[in-house]
Structures are given as C-alpha cells and as structure tokens.
Chain A
Amino acid sequence: AQRVTQPEKLLSVFKGAPVELKCNYSYSGSPELFWYVQYSRQRLQLLLRHISRESIKGFTADLNKGETSFHLKKPFAQEEDSAMYYCALSYGNDYKLSFGAGTTVTVRA
C-alpha cells in the first residue's frame, strides 16, 4: 500500500531562517510526488511537483529514491509562508493522490 508520512505536525520558525518540511513515502514503483499548500482561508493548491524540478516561491524539493524522501526546503522563510503543507504521492496511470497528514508551518516575525 502507498503511504506518505509527514513526521512533523507543527513547525515554527523565525522569519529569515531556513525551513525544511519532511516527507517520506513508501511505494514500490516510480512515484510522482507533489507538495500542496493551503493558506489561511484559501483552498488547497499545488505548490510544486517533482517532475517539474522547479522552484516556486523560493521552495525546492528533491526526490531521494534511496531514502524514499521528498523534503520541502526554503532557505529564508517569510511570514507569508505560514500555511498548512501536504506532501502527496501519485501512483498508477491515473490521478489518485495519497496525501500525508500535513504540517502546519508558522513563521514568526
């Protein structure tokens, strides 16, 4: 069974400090991995996806197949990064996403 684990429920950092959100997965095939974000009073939206290998809002995520991880990183956190972050895995030939339980990030001034 596919499983996504986000070990941290809550993460609090100071503005300007680095932030790293951990995500580990278990899947026997070749996964597609995503980070989704939900800002206060907004809907869930895509932040970035592994296949695009892009940096969005200063965030990057590297897929490490050896460690089965897809950690999300940003070198200098901003107050507007405060949100709920979900790591998600897609499997098979269609669009079924398995989500982790989420990490709430609070960036303090």
Chain B
Amino acid sequence: ETGVTQSPTHLIKTRGQQVTLRCSSQSGHNTVSWYQQALGQGPQFIFQYYREEENGRGNFPPRFSGLQFPNYSSELNVNALELDDSALYLCASSRDSSNTGELFFGEGSRLTVL
C-alpha cells in the first residue's frame, strides 16, 4: 500500500507570501492531521480533517487553513508568512478520527521563510 506522501519536500518563501503544502493520505485512510515541527521541538498539532470537514484545531492563527478533498488528500495553506513559520510541516493520516489508532506520517515539507 502507498504511504503518506507530501509535496514539496523543501521550499523557500519570503515574509508576507503565501504557501500551499500538499498531502496524499495512505490508502484506506479518511483522516488527515497536520503538524508543525520547529527545530529541536516535537510536532505541534495544527488541525485535523475527517471526511472533508475540519475536526479540531490547535493553537494556530486563522492564517493557517486547510482543505480535504473527496479522495482524502489534503492541503495546508499559510497566508502572510512570518519568519517563525519556518519549520517542518508533517502530514499524518489514520483510518478514522478515533484517538486509539495509529498515525502514519509523511516525510514532511521543510519551509524556510526569509
């Protein structure tokens, strides 16, 4: 089965720009979560999508938004980029939105904001 894939793997943006990151979930998974991992820190939950609806959000401002498509792939959009948005963005999929299952992570998209 195909694992979670993310694109692009690396990108560089300047402050104030907008970015879209993409994620294809693992086959059979209907839930996608996005995490931000700053250097030297653990991943921080941004939001989760379950069957195309946002199903929970972490402590991130509204300029962080997302989408989930009918095939359960997902996008993370960040507007008005700030220097502190520089991080590894991880996508994870799971079979459903329960809290006892396993998250399957992608390799991440590394964003650098100059």
Q: Is the CB of B103 within 8 A of A94?
A: no
Q: A94 touches which one: B3, B99, B108 (CB < 8 A)?
A: B99
Q: Is B94 an interface residue (CB 8 A)?
A: yes
Number of contact residues on B: which range applies? 20 to 34
Query: Separation in Å of the B39 CB from the closest CB of chain A?
Result: 11
Q: What residue in chain A is nearest B58 (Cβ atoms)?
A: A96
Q: Is the CB of B42 within 8 A of A95?
A: no
Q: Is the CB of B42 within 8 A of A102?
A: yes
Complex CA gap A87/B43 in Å reads 11
Complex CA gap A94/B103 in Å reads 12
In the complex, which residues of chain B have a beta carbon less than 8 angstroms from the beta carbon of A46? 102-103
Q: How many residues in A have their beta carbons less than 8 Å from beta carbons of B?
A: 24
In the complex, which residues of chain B have a beta carbon less than 8 angstroms from the beta carbon of A36? 103
Q: Is A51 an interface residue (CB 8 A)?
A: yes
In the complex, which residues of chain A have a beta carbon less than 8 angstroms from the beta carbon of B45? 96-98
Complex CA gap A4/B44 in Å reads 11
Which 9 pairs from chain A and chain B are nearest by CB? A99-B42, A90-B99, A44-B105, A94-B97, A46-B102, A96-B45, A99-B43, A43-B105, A101-B42
Q: Can you list 29 A-B pairs with a CB-CB distance of less than 8 A?
A: A32-B99, A43-B3, A43-B4, A43-B105, A43-B108, A45-B104, A46-B102, A46-B103, A86-B42, A88-B42, A90-B100, A91-B99, A92-B99, A93-B97, A93-B99, A94-B55, A94-B98, A94-B99, A95-B31, A95-B94, A95-B98, A95-B99, A95-B101, A96-B45, A96-B56, A97-B45, A99-B43, A101-B42, A102-B41
